[in-house]
Structure 1
Amino acid sequence: MSNTRPNFIFIMADDLGYADLGCTGARAPVSPHLDRMAAQGLLFTHGYANSPVCSPTRFALITGRWQYRLRGAAEEPLTGRYRGDKIVGLPPQHPTLPSLLRDAGYRTALVGKWHLGYPPHFGPLKSGYQEFFGPLSGGVDYFQYTDSVGKRDLWDGETPAEDHGYLTDALSDRAVRFVEQARAGEPFLLSLHYTAPHWPWETREDHAESQRIGGRINHVDGGSLATYRRMIQQMDEGIGRVLAALEARGLADNTLVVFTSDNGGERFSDNWPFVGQKMDLLEGGIRVPLIARWPARIAPGGTSATPALTMDWCATLLDAAGVQPHAEYPLDGISLLPLLRDPAWNPQRPLYWRMLHRQQAALLEGCWKYLAMDGHEYLFDLGQDERERANLAQREPARLAAMRQRWQAWAAQMPPIPAEAQARLVFGDADIPRASH
């Protein structure tokens, strides 16, 4: 094993369903490169997103803390109407994964979606990234780069970017270039955050569809299963090119590459065997594909059933780099380095979620899951019932009450959802088409 500090590439898809990859059960051959990556590394069967919607998960990833600790994560999600907002976003003074690694000598870059607040008060270059290429908002048109309010949104640093063709390919191109230009002896963090397969549903062959919808990216009259699968395939092709660039530079052995999704899938996604989708704390909204490859440290062909949460990767990458978190901002996530060495390692910790939409709450303890939604309570044994069909609340009232109490005790430690955030939650302006509900 090399004694040099490892490089990191963290790849995040957008709205990818649990079973949308071949290695997680896809019904079509759309992900040969990611499937190969899983075979060469570790496949997590219990990867969880910090939230069933975009921005909160990204707050958790970049800070390594419960997203609920930050005001911006109460907004679900951060749409274009927050341009210029001074409050809703990631405060530049908050330590982040890229800022901590940057200060330790890492080169840091975000290629892809930011979605954590708008300039002039927020932005990736203010929160630890030295390079940025991508959209600041959530979903954008793949050819015109327009966001949910019709504003063009593709940036190279803090400068509006020119036409780069199909967005998924443009992000892959920039990520490959970053790897090819990596400096000898300077470790790097590359955050590659695709917008695929988030709507609008456009492949690189669908420029005419982009013209048809005319910037109405949250359209509900387009897309198909074939289009969706092709979007995944084209993202996978780009990831294959990034992995090939690592090999060509001789960097693959000591680079930890992680792939996951920001939340569960919607519309055309395959979340099998789970029910629910994006916006839900049912398993379909929070169980996501998760793969890690690091030839120097991870044995190939492994599978782990240990639950892992998005925010754990901040702690993991800092640990792998030998970088301490900021003392005034202790991490809520845990380092998964022991798990990367031993897929059976399991710290047996509780995982919590809170969601303003439908007044949801969830607690996972081992195989038991407490869920509150729409004023109803549920208790599921996921070891026997991953589809969350058998509500055991009446059969196990003591367990239900105890788990409810533990969730309430945890929630009491988090800042409450601000009243103005609750008032602003209007689904016509949310990061998901209305017809998906």
Structure 2
Amino acid sequence: MTHPTRPNIVFIVADDLGYADLGCYGGRDASFGPVSPVLDGLAAQGLKLTQGYSNSPVCSPTRFALMTGRYQYRLRGAAEEPINSKSRGSTTLGLPPEHPTLPSLLRDAGYRTALMGKWHLGYPPAFSPLRSGYDEFFGPMSGGVDYFTHCSSTGQHDLYLNDAEQQEGGYLTDLITDHGLDFVRRMAGGARSGTPFFLSLHYTAPHWPWETRDDEALAQEVKGNLFHLHGGNIDTYRRMIHHMDEGIGRLMELLRAEGLERDTLVVFTSDNGGERFSDNWPLVGGKMDLTEGGIRVPWIAHWPAVIAPDSTSTQTCMTMDWSATMLDAAGATAAASHPLDGRSLMPLLRDATWRDDQPLFWRMNHRGQRAMRHGPWKYLRVDGHDYLFNLEGDERERANLAPIAPERLAAMVQAWEAWEATMPPIPADATVSLGYGVKDMPQR
């Protein structure tokens, strides 16, 4: 297979999607049928990773890593878990405009760039997508908004077109799709003649509030109370995923119609593990946790010119690795002042048998969590207790091997602490917000 030198790139990010919510990851059909037929098809026609991770078990920090290709801990804003509406007006809690980013580096390499969907990396005027490398933006600035009123948890309207507030009726998932399709249509001619595009399609689905296209009346009823724990159900949650899947189907149809599918790299993932209605089987835990259910997420890549169909890999990776991969695929280079922590997976896209075993590290202010994965082994600390798991035979993290493999545990603790010493410390004033809808979940 030949490698086009400048592919178009579409980076699709779901919000709070569980590891097994998609059919291709073992998810069950819903009452209305398959939940994710389009994404299942992309996995079948491309590459599916079974051991891929997000950089964090919460929203904002993962998005810092996505944008920078670096461990999010290097930036002050990523210490907040998450950046929320109380951060409005802050000049520190956000992605610094001067920091090189995936879209800014791609734009410097000649790409047209757009973010359609969730930003969640700081509020204007200090921060915005247009100040961090995107030519165009449509979506909410905050972490979660109502799908119909487009108001945040404070009741404040939060929908923007570029840097201006945008009043636009409709179901948010569909609006994000519509604006993404409009961007691709306008970029298609240039893409065919040598000016590629980069589209970040960052859905808020299936993040709360739990509303389908048919739930506008419910949206009016709970306006301003998005953290309600009495709403939603599994069927509603699955329909929200299905609405997103339908939008991705419309995108793929457009790429085919414009003759762009073969030379477009489409990557799909989630910003962290699932929440209250998600299916993480066989993993335990969820959002906010460094157990597998909080950080292991779907990773699907589709690029007919390079990726062989029906490819599956157990290669470990993190969000920031895919940022490095997209830069590599585009022939763009990182800024010397901000070297990447992520490494390119382009060899994996060409050959699903490729392996590059590097340690992965996490830390989390909430409950003093830390984690490291190297090969099949995982070191985890929660509430001051250390655990050692062999994930190859124990993906549910039930058999703590620390007492019978103390030397391995000690080596991984030492490795984690050596890595931690290279990162800025967590600021004393960093806060942890539990306003995710997980407050009703039992503690382990």
Shorter chain as denominator, the TM-score bin is: over 0.9
CA contact (8 A) 1:139 1:431 kept: no
Deviation at 1:331, TM superposition (A): 0.1
CA contact (8 A) 2:4 2:305 kept: no
CA contact (8 A) 2:386 2:402 kept: yes
Question: Corresponding residue for 2:379?
Answer: 370
Structure 1's 145 and 43: CA in aligned 2 closer, same or farther, altered over 3 A? same
Question: Secondary structure of 1:231's match?
Answer: helix
Mapping for residues 174-193 of structure 1, pairs under 5 Å: 174-182=179-187, 183-184=189-190, 185-193=194-202
Runs of 4 or more above 2 Å deviation: 1-4, 424-427, 430-437
Question: Corresponding residue for 1:289?
Answer: 298
Question: Secondary structure of 1:415's match?
Answer: coil
Deviation at 1:425, TM superposition (A): 2.3
Cα distance in 2 between the residues matched to 1:4 and 1:60: 25
Task: Decide which of 425, 429, 436 is 2:432's aligned counterpart.
Answer: 425
Question: Secondary structure of 2:143's match?
Answer: coil
Aligned-partner residue type, residue 205 of structure 2? A
Deviation at 1:347, TM superposition (A): 1.1
Cα distance in 1 between the residues matched to 2:223 and 2:72: 34
Identity %: 64
Task: Decide which of 61, 69, 79 is 1:64's aligned counterpart.
Answer: 69
Question: Corresponding residue for 1:272?
Answer: 281
Question: Corresponding residue for 2:80?
Answer: 75
1:251 matched to 2:260: yes
Question: Corresponding residue for 1:383?
Answer: 392
Cα distance in 1 between the residues matched to 2:321 and 2:432: 28
Question: Secondary structure of 1:285's match?
Answer: helix
Task: Decide which of 35, 39, 42 is 1:37's aligned counterpart.
Answer: 42
Instruction: Deviation per CA, 1:320-361: give whole Å up to 9, x if none.
Output: 111110001000000000011111211110000000011000
Question: Secondary structure of 1:395's match?
Answer: coil
1:113 matched to 2:114: no
Deviation at 1:426, TM superposition (A): 4.3
Moved more, 214-223 or 120-129: 214-223
Cα distance in 1 between the residues matched to 2:5 and 2:410: 50
Task: Decide which of 307, 313, 316 is 2:322's aligned counterpart.
Answer: 313
Question: Corresponding residue for 2:22?
Answer: 21
Aligned-partner residue type, residue 38 of structure 2? H
Task: Decide which of 213, 216, 220 is 2:222's aligned counterpart.
Answer: 213
Question: Corresponding residue for 1:399?
Answer: 408
Cα distance in 2 between the residues matched to 1:360 and 1:2: 41
Question: Corresponding residue for 2:170?
Answer: 165
Cα distance in 2 between the residues matched to 1:347 and 1:426: 35
Task: Decide which of 156, 159, 165 is 1:151's aligned counterpart.
Answer: 156
Question: Secondary structure of 1:198's match?
Answer: coil
Instruction: Deviation per CA, 1:342-397: give whole Å up to 9, x if none.
Output: 11211110000000011000010100000000111100000110000000010101
CA contact (8 A) 1:219 1:433 kept: no
Question: Secondary structure of 1:163's match?
Answer: coil
CA contact (8 A) 1:266 1:436 kept: no
Cα distance in 1 between the residues matched to 2:437 and 2:299: 23
Question: Secondary structure of 2:362's match?
Answer: strand
- Equivalent pairs, count: 433
1:5 matched to 2:6: yes
* Structure 1 unpaired stretches of 5+: none
* Structure 2 unpaired stretches of 5+: none
CA contact (8 A) 1:81 1:149 kept: no
Deviation at 1:308, TM superposition (A): 1.4
Cα distance in 1 between the residues matched to 2:3 and 2:429: 51
Aligned-partner residue type, residue 54 of structure 1? C
Aligned-partner residue type, residue 344 of structure 2? S
Cα distance in 2 between the residues matched to 1:207 and 1:80: 23
